[in-house]
């Protein structure tokens, strides 16, 4: 089979899309919220309405952690513990969009 100009265009397109995909997925390296004693309360607040283990699949699928409620506590406690953001930290409203809860 002879590869024609049109085919090369298609191949280039596929390669570009793959490259973008890899570039984006590599960005997921922001530190998650540590699942430790200090951050226990964050997890408790975020998952306060979590469906029980025996809840329907439907309920589980649509459950979203209460991120906004939990985020209120990040900065006050970090301030108390003198935890500073790195100088190049991105805009910081909505901590949990970037710093994922691990569970």
Q: Which of 81, 78, 69, 61 is nearest to 44 (CA)?
A: 69
Q: Measured between alpha carbons, how far is 78 from 81 in angstroms, rounded to an integer?
A: 5
Print the binding letters for residues 13-52 with ligand HEC: x by CB under 6 A, - otherwise. -----------------xx-xx-x-xx-xx----------
- Quote the Cα angle for 21-24-27, to 5°: 150
Q: What is the nearest approach in angstroms of ligand HEC to the Cβ of residue 45?
A: 8
Please count the CA atoms within 13 angstroms of the CA of 78 that sit on its side-chain side.
12
Q: Which is nearer to ligand HEC, 30 or 56 (CB)?
A: 30
* 96 is an interface residue for ligand HEC by CB under 6 A: yes
Q: By the criterion CB under 6 A, which residues form the site for ligand HEC? A: 30-31, 33-34, 36, 38-39, 41-42, 70-71, 73-75, 77-78, 81, 83, 85-86, 89-90, 92, 94-99
């Amino acid at each position: 089979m002879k590869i024609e100009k049109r085919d090369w265009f298609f191949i280039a397109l596929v390669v570009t899309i793959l490259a973008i995909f890899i570039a984006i997925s590599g960005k997921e390296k922001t530190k998650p919220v540590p699942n430790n004693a200090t951050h226990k309360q964050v997890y408790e607040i975020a998952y306060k309405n979590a469906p029980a283990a025996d809840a329907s699949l439907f309920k589980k699928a649509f459950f979203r952690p209460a991120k906004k409620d939990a985020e209120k506590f990040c900065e006050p406690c970090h301030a108390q513990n003198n935890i500073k953001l790195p100088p190049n930290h991105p805009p910081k409203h909505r901590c949990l969009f970037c710093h994922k809860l691990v569970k």
